[in-house]
Amino acid sequence: MTTVRTLRDLGKDAVHLREAGLQSLPDDHILTKAVDEDRIGLTFDPDFGDLLAASGTGNFEFKEIRKEDRVLKTTILSNPESFTREFERCCRAYTSLHIATAWCGDPRFVLPYAHLESMRGRIKATIGMSFNYTHPDALDLLKKFEADLRVFNKNTTLFHPKVYFFSSGERGALFVGSSNLTYAGFYCNAETNVLLEGLLRGTDQTPDITAALRQFEVWHTDKFSFVPSPEWMAKYRNDYAEARKREQEYRIQTPPICEHRIPVANWLRNADWDTYYLKVVEGLELHGHTMEDYLAVLRAAKEHLPIPWEPSYFDNREKRRIIGGLGEYGWLGHVGASGRFMRLLAYGTHIEKAEIADAINAIATLNLPLAYDNLIGLLEKLVALGPTMKVWGRVLCLVRPDMYCTVASPSVRKNLSQALNVSRESFSSVHGYIQLMRLLHSSPWFQSPEPINESEKEVWHARAALMDTIFYSGHTPS
């Protein structure tokens, strides 16, 4: 009957045999009745087609409704990986999203907000703010995304749903579960969610889905929610800060306090390629840099410092300028400021220069899956010459920008140390740098396939080195 009601809602002249008490009518009589009334037959019986073929009836159209067409696919998402994977997919696949969630986390964690930013469609959001848990910057970001944003009135009742409804035409995907719109809710906590996906009309669950959507719309009305004004936002920002201050003073463990303990740069562990590329572009814009600045240095290294390196490279002033990051080559780190390193390049012994060249050549040939023990041995040989990994990391990303990153900048070390929960000084050592490499090489964005887009493709081939664009906040090299 669900199918019949849906067809009638669409203005079709649809009838069900049960309505006329004819549900027990033999198949051949059903066929005759349909032909006499010039109707299209709909059935769940796959054998009905054989009867139609045997009857010789040429002016009757028969359509079988498959079970999968009338039942929304149900998926239990019992871990963060499965939930975030499906959520990311839906952000790319659908053109509309309605969010109803108890609270939103700090956007500094990048995820899951980056998925919403990459979504090409409309966002409607009803957000709770009980206990002042929702971060005010999250509301500002949703407004930046041009979302139809309303805040649930906490004086009405406790607003506690965690629901995300995607739609596009007649298809939809409904997530219902325990994950708030926070980094912890998507990537850290023990959460469970259920995904219902498929055609929205003509399924067994259509009445339930329709009722749920109606409830979302009710929550989004003046009776239950309001559009946050600038004055309300200013007051709420103060209320949020005061609430966190009291919680810290009395050592109360609340979701915002627990989330605050997560390293902000931890998103690097979970970001997909789209998110990472978006952060590269945003980093360039934020700090007033251009992609060409960075790529020009990498192209110069490829042209003037081809593998295999020779000890004679270090006798050439221009090559030393590229290696040391002097002048216009200062992007990815101005390690030339280390007089010890530049003296090693210019005035080191032939044996020292040969050791540098041999180690760099061996590192350049390593591929994934990386033999870290081999890499550690080669890096220890370089560090034994004097300079630390703050210097050698920059050299590595010149020869293999797809594999290695620079940690020359203090601001880069500061942000990356948060991702690993280690001191920024640890990146000077081989052990600390290897920790960072293990994180990067295991991340979804690093392991992603080569993009089709040409501009993204060039970034992908230098994806490890260009992490500097996200975290470097220093001055423009001159």
Q: Are 301 and 394 in contact (CB under 8 A)?
A: no
Q: Give residues with Cβ within 8 angstroms of 355, minimum separation 6.
A: 381, 382, 385
Alpha carbon distance 175, 376 (integer Å): 45
Both 177 and 201 in one domain: the answer is yes
Alpha carbon distance 278, 94 (integer Å): 19
**pLDDT truncated to tens, each residue of the chain (478 aa)?**
556 665 666 667 777 777 767 666 776 777 777 777 777 766 655 555 555 555 555 555 655 455 544 568 899 999 999 999 999 999 999 999 999 999 999 999 999 999 998 888 899 999 999 999 999 999 999 999 999 999 999 888 999 999 999 999 889 999 999 999 999 999 999 999 999 999 887 666 778 888 999 999 999 999 999 999 999 999 999 999 999 999 999 999 999 999 888 887 889 989 999 999 999 999 999 888 899 999 999 999 999 999 999 999 999 999 999 999 999 999 988 887 678 899 999 999 999 999 999 999 999 999 999 999 999 999 999 999 999 999 999 999 999 999 999 999 888 888 888 767 788 899 999 999 999 999 999 999 999 999 999 989 999 999 999 999 998 876 555 4
Q: Among 228, 244, 260, identify where a domain stops.
A: 244
Both 351 and 298 in one domain: the answer is yes
- Is residue 299 in some structural domain? yes
Q: Nearest to residue 402, comparing CAs of 366, 354, 360, 433? A: 366
Both 52 and 90 in one domain: the answer is no
- Is residue 89 in some structural domain? yes
Alpha carbon distance 52, 32 (integer Å): 10
Q: Give residues with Cβ within 8 angstroms of 276, minimum separation 6.
A: 268, 443, 445, 463
Q: Nearest to residue 349, comparing CAs of 386, 375, 319, 388? A: 386
Both 162 and 97 in one domain: the answer is yes
Q: Quick: pLDDT tens for 105-135.
A: 999 999 999 999 888 889 999 999 999 999 9
Both 237 and 97 in one domain: the answer is yes
Q: Are strands 193-199 and 171-177 parallel, antiparallel or unpaired?
A: antiparallel
Alpha carbon distance 356, 378 (integer Å): 10
Alpha carbon distance 203, 370 (integer Å): 50
Both 44 and 90 in one domain: the answer is no
- Enclosing domain of residue 411: 268-471
Both 33 and 74 in one domain: the answer is no
- Is residue 260 in some structural domain? no
Both 142 and 61 in one domain: the answer is no
The separation between CA 477 and the C-alpha centre of its own chain, rounded to angstroms, equals 31
Residue with tokens 């003046």: 222
- Is residue 467 in some structural domain? yes
Residue with tokens 């915002």: 256
- Is residue 310 in some structural domain? yes
Q: Is 460 exposed, middle or buried (0-12, 13-18, 19+ CB in 10 A)?
A: buried
The separation between CA 292 and the C-alpha centre of its own chain, rounded to angstroms, equals 25
Both 148 and 56 in one domain: the answer is no
Both 82 and 148 in one domain: the answer is yes
The answer to whether the bond into 306 is cis (omega within 30° of 0) is no
Q: Which CATH number does the domain housing residue 166 bear?
A: 3.30.870.10
The whole-model pTM stands at 0.77
- Is residue 59 in some structural domain? yes
The separation between CA 398 and the C-alpha centre of its own chain, rounded to angstroms, equals 28
Both 204 and 301 in one domain: the answer is no
Q: Give residues with Cβ within 8 angstroms of 221, minimum separation 6.
A: none
Burial 173-201 (b: 16+ CB within 10 A, else e): bbbbbebbbbbbbbbbbebebebbbbbbb
The number of distinct structural domains making up the chain is: 3
- Is residue 478 in some structural domain? no
Both 284 and 385 in one domain: the answer is yes
Q: Give residues with Cβ within 8 angstroms of 104, minimum separation 6.
A: 127, 134, 135, 138, 139, 142, 180, 181, 182
Q: Nearest to residue 194, comparing CAs of 208, 178, 210? A: 178
- Is residue 256 in some structural domain? no
Q: Among 28, 47, 65, identify where a domain stops.
A: 65
- What's the pLDDT at 353? 97
Alpha carbon distance 265, 414 (integer Å): 10
Residue with tokens 């848990």: 133
Residue 237 dihedral angles phi and psi, to the nearest 5°? -60, -40
Q: Among 65, 91, 120, identify where a domain stops.
A: 65
Kindly list the distances between the CA atom of residue 66 and the CA atoms of 17, 26, 55, 69, in Å, as whole numbers in the listed order.
19, 21, 23, 5
CB atoms within 10 A of CB 247: 17
Residue 431 dihedral angles phi and psi, to the nearest 5°? -60, -45
